[in-house]
Amino acid sequence: MLPSPASQKTPVTVAYGDGIGPEIMESVLRILEAAGAPLDYQVVEIGEKAYLSGHTSGIPSEAWDTIRRNKAFLKAPITTPQGGGYKSLNVTIRKSLGLYANVRPTTSYAPFVSSPHSGMDLVIVRENEEDLYAGIEHRQTAEVTQVLKLITRPGSERIIRYAFEYAQAYGRRKVTCMTKDNIMKHTDGLFHKAFEEVAKEYPSIESEHHIIDIGAARVAAQPEMFDVIVTLNLYGDIISDIASQVAGSVGLAGSANIGSTVSMFEAVHGSAPDIAGKDVANPSGLLQGAAQMLVHLGHADIAGTITNAWLSTLEAGIHTADVYRSGLSEREVGTRAFTDAVIERLGQTPSMLKPAAYRNATISVPPVRNSTPEKVLEGVDVFLDWSDGDRHPDRLGALLESACPEGWKLKMITNRGVKVYPGGLPETFWTDHWRCRFISPDGGDLDFGDILRLLTSLHGASCDVIKTEHLYTFDGERGYSLGQGE
Ligand code: NAD
């Protein structure tokens, strides 16, 4: 194949990474070159060296410029140094560049790679920016720490619509949503509700919902039943690893992090420092990431040629040490020899494994802004740090009743979400973190001035207020959870 002139090549940012990164990146670039991928590589130095030279995020500013200028970023795994307050580079890149969708196809290659699930071929679309990964954590009392789980309407709608658009573009038949909305009715409930609404826009695609715990168990035991799964950040993180593990192929999976302008493509695994520099690493995960990148850039044909050559190599039993099984494999090879074997097979299609048939499809899902509902303040949860004496909630209740100013009423006190006043049970464990719910006695409309009046009064009674949460209704619908037993 003749090389394309440089002017027609798509610029791609490349990071060789740490550990096995340079070996597997070299392998992948050789395969891309041999397949005639019209790409112009611009290399950035990120990772361990950048961390150790003083960039706590692992990425120098000139690398940001290159990554932001180019549409696609092919990244080998990097090592995050232990301790020293170093921030995860992946999380920094995802959040800074708005890479809202993590797309991880997981396929089993049985019988050539050992897996009990020969029919497994699913794609996990994981929300990549929100949820517990916003990283907003606080220690509030001697005994209690908290993290904020943020789920937004635009973020949820966008990732869910991305999953349906993906299913439509790549000929998938079903999208499964996974949440824990039986417990988190407002946060996970919002995601589930958005799913039901968006699903109606795609009547030709089947849709279903599973509670995440049973859903994860089914991914482990019957992965064949899933096609596209869309879920929140943390659940997606966990089920992606379960899926890769049961496919028998953590070292074979790639992933895409999709944003509106820049997208990043990588292997699922880390930098494997234990095997670095030994010519034994499997380059397949990064190669799968590169195939996703080619499809994203409109080179589905080249992605197909590469994946089919790679599947043919697996079928020929030419395996790196991580997937080599005596009796199942023909020949154990190192990184370079595996790369040569894939290049030799460019143009071949597998005879038993399902050949790759990628289609060019540009999926673009802009964020949506919703209309502003009518917001009414009907109370406030005041959180107190209180650990006096035996910590009996009836004493705290009496203190708050006497400090409660006119225009306010103490509705209840909870400890770790369980109602302990009025009328709690002695078996409930009391920590030093109390949520005290105050409401308007006549259901009247409140304002921030009323809250300040309440807080001043509680402060005057020596209450240690650590935070407040306002209790709103939105278009008449309650925007906060009830206490257990309220
Ligand atoms: P790891 O994925 O690097 O290694 C886990 C095990 O799998 C090791 O035994 C390793 O030898 C093996 N392995 C991984 N990739 C392989 C491959 N391509 N071929 C053959 N064997 C392979 O996970 P870890 O040891 O927990 O992490 C090592 C470093 O990687 C850490 O610094 C971590 O922070 C980093 N990491 C980076 C990324 C990323 O850049 N996307 C992701 C995960 C971990």
- Residue-wise DSSP of 33-79: HHTT--EEEEE---SHHHHHTT-TTS--HHHHHHHHHSSEEEE---P
Q: What is the pLDDT of residue 346?
A: 98
Supply 91's token pair: 């999380």
The C-alpha torsion from 284 through 289 and 294 to 298, rounded to 10°, is: 140
| Closest to 40 (Cα-Cα) out of 69, 12, 3 | 12
- Ligand 1 mean position to 322 CA, how many Å? 12
Tell me which residue range forms the domain holding 41.
8-90+268-356
What average pLDDT is seen over the chain? 93
pLDDT category of residue 2 using cuts at 50, 70 and 90: very low
Q: Are residues 15 and 61 in the same domain?
A: yes
Give the containing element (helix H, strand E) for 174.
strand 174-179
| Closest to 121 (Cα-Cα) out of 266, 228, 239 | 228
Q: What is the pLDDT of residue 249?
A: 66
Cα separation, 460 vs 441, in Å, equals: 21
Domain boundary pick from 356, 387, 410: 356
Q: What is the pLDDT of residue 1?
A: 44
Q: Are residues 351 and 383 in the same domain?
A: no
The mean pLDDT value for 268-293 works out to 95
- Ligand 1 mean position to 329 CA, how many Å? 23
- Ligand 1 mean position to 250 CA, how many Å? 10
The mean pLDDT value for 133-141 works out to 90
Of the listed ranges 38-42, 206-210, 369-373, 456-460, the least confidently predicted one is 369-373
The CATH number of whichever domain residue 434 belongs to comes to 3.30.70.1570
pLDDT for residue 68 is more than 80: yes
Give the containing element (helix H, strand E) for 309.
helix 300-315
Q: Are residues 12 and 50 in the same domain?
A: yes
- Has residue 117 been placed in a domain? no
- Has residue 289 been placed in a domain? yes
Please give the number of the atom of ligand 1 that sits closest to the Cα of 284.
18
Domain boundary pick from 328, 356, 384: 356
How many C-beta atoms surround the C-beta of residue 299 within 10 A? 23
- Has residue 420 been placed in a domain? yes
pLDDT tens digits for range 382-415: 999 999 888 999 999 999 999 999 999 999 999 9
Q: Which residue has the tokens 């943390």?
A: 234
How many C-beta atoms surround the C-beta of residue 85 within 10 A? 6
Q: What is the pLDDT of residue 397?
A: 97
Please give the number of the atom of ligand 1 that sits closest to the Cα of 273.
28
- Which is more confident, 483 or 144? 144
The CATH number of whichever domain residue 14 belongs to comes to 3.40.718.10
pLDDT tens digits for range 411-442: 999 999 999 999 988 888 999 999 999 999 88
Q: Are residues 283 and 332 in the same domain?
A: yes
Phi and psi of 298, rounded to 5°?
90, 20
Please give the number of the atom of ligand 1 that sits closest to the Cα of 274.
11
Q: Are residues 276 and 325 in the same domain?
A: yes
Please give the number of the atom of ligand 1 that sits closest to the Cα of 76.
40
Q: Is 442 exposed, middle or buried (0-12, 13-18, 19+ CB in 10 A)?
A: exposed
pTM: 0.90
pLDDT category of residue 42 using cuts at 50, 70 and 90: very high
Q: Are residues 336 and 401 in the same domain?
A: no
Q: What residues pair up with 255 in beta bridges, in sequence order?
A: 266
pLDDT category of residue 369 using cuts at 50, 70 and 90: confident
- Has residue 106 been placed in a domain? no
Give the length of the chain.
486
Q: What is the pLDDT of residue 5?
A: 55
Give the containing element (helix H, strand E) for 465.
strand 465-474
Close Cβ partners of 205 (under 8 Å, ≥ 6 residues apart)? 164, 167, 168, 172, 173, 174, 175, 199
Cα separation, 431 vs 386, in Å, equals: 9
- Has residue 38 been placed in a domain? yes
Please give the number of the atom of ligand 1 that sits closest to the Cα of 275.
11
Q: Are residues 400 and 430 in the same domain?
A: yes
Minimum CA distance residue for ligand 1 atom 43: 270
| Structural domains of the chain, count | 2
pLDDT category of residue 326 using cuts at 50, 70 and 90: confident
Q: What is the 3-state secondary structure (H, E, C) of 348-382?
A: CCCCCCCCCCCCCCCCCCCCCCCCCCCEEEEEEEE
Q: Which residue has the tokens 């209840």?
A: 412
Domain boundary pick from 356, 390, 410: 356
| Closest to 167 (Cα-Cα) out of 361, 315, 356 | 361
Q: What is the pLDDT of residue 242?
A: 92
CA distances from 209 to 149, 200, 293, 411 (A): 21, 14, 29, 35
- Which is more confident, 272 or 7? 272
Q: Are residues 401 and 330 in the same domain?
A: no
Cα separation, 433 vs 381, in Å, equals: 12
Minimum CA distance residue for ligand 1 atom 12: 272
- Ligand 1 mean position to 274 CA, how many Å? 9
- Ligand 1 mean position to 270 CA, how many Å? 3
Phi and psi of 287, rounded to 5°?
-65, -40
pLDDT for residue 3 is more than 60: no
- Which is more confident, 159 or 325? 159
Residues with CB under 6 A from ligand 1: 20, 77-80, 90, 251, 266, 269-275, 281-282, 285, 322
- Which is more confident, 2 or 38? 38
Task: Tell me which amino acid residue 241 is.
Answer: D
pLDDT for residue 371 is more than 80: no
Q: Are residues 277 and 343 in the same domain?
A: yes
Cα separation, 386 vs 330, in Å, equals: 68
Q: What is the pLDDT of residue 454?
A: 98
Minimum CA distance residue for ligand 1 atom 16: 251
- Ligand 1 mean position to 177 CA, how many Å? 29
- Ligand 1 mean position to 153 CA, how many Å? 34
pLDDT tens digits for range 188-217: 999 999 999 999 999 999 999 999 999 999
Minimum CA distance residue for ligand 1 atom 37: 270
Close Cβ partners of 466 (under 8 Å, ≥ 6 residues apart)? 140, 141, 383, 384, 385, 433
Cis peptide before 111 (omega within 30 of 0): yes
Q: Are residues 322 and 413 in the same domain?
A: no
pLDDT tens digits for range 93-121: 988 999 999 999 999 998 898 888 888 99
Minimum CA distance residue for ligand 1 atom 8: 272
- Has residue 398 been placed in a domain? yes
- Has residue 133 been placed in a domain? no
Please give the number of the atom of ligand 1 that sits closest to the Cα of 79.
32
Minimum CA distance residue for ligand 1 atom 11: 272
Q: Are residues 379 and 474 in the same domain?
A: yes
- Has residue 410 been placed in a domain? yes
Q: Are residues 350 and 412 in the same domain?
A: no
- Ligand 1 mean position to 445 CA, how many Å? 55
**Residue 478 CA from chain centroid, whole number:** 28
